[in-house]
Amino acid sequence: MKKTGAPDSKEPDDIRRVQDKAREIDDKLPKLKRLVDDARLLLQLVRDYSKGDYREVPYWAISAAAIALLYVLNPADVIPDMLFGVGFLDDAAVVAFCLKLVRQELDRYQEWKARSPSTPGDAKEGPVIDV
């Protein structure tokens, strides 16, 4: 417990460390958002390929995307998902590697998607629910 009247000389250092850590997290958030957005786009690519809506992708690229997504869904991971905080690191690494591998194809797909009429169930529209 801190005594009143006696300033704690460690407090400014602690506050500075917390502020530095907050800045680090803020710097990483846009990268994390891009990873999540790209992973969603990768899922849409696989979905559109499987439906036959988009076939302008090489077999190796769609295979890599499908394998990465299957790895994420597979409960037998290198790092178990139930380990809080670190359980999804291997999943994120596999998806990030796949995204880097298929980046050019994903960009082409995104361009195609922008030119094409919107399809039901797109992530930007949300799921289609029949009532």
Is residue 77 in a domain?
yes
Counted domains in the chain: 1
Q: Render pLDDT for 14-23 as a digit per residue (tens, 0 to 9).
A: 777 777 777 7
- The parent domain of residue 56 ranges over 13-115
Q: Which residue has the tokens 């890599």?
A: 64
Q: Render pLDDT for 63-110 as a digit per residue (tens, 0 to 9).
A: 999 999 888 887 776 666 566 666 677 788 888 999 999 999 999 999
How far apart CA 131 and CA 121 sit, in angstroms, is 15
**Is pTM beyond 0.75 here?**
no
Is residue 1 in a domain?
no
* Encoded tokens for 26: 């803020």
- Minimal CA–CA distance to 64: which of 90, 36, 97? 97
Is residue 120 in a domain?
no
Is residue 85 in a domain?
yes
Is residue 130 in a domain?
no
Examine the pLDDT at 57 and tell me if it is beyond 60.
yes
Is residue 69 in a domain?
yes
In sequence order, what are the residues at sequence separation of 6 or more whose Cβ sits closer than 8 angstroms to the Cβ of residue 59?
Answer: none
* Encoded tokens for 98: 């796949």
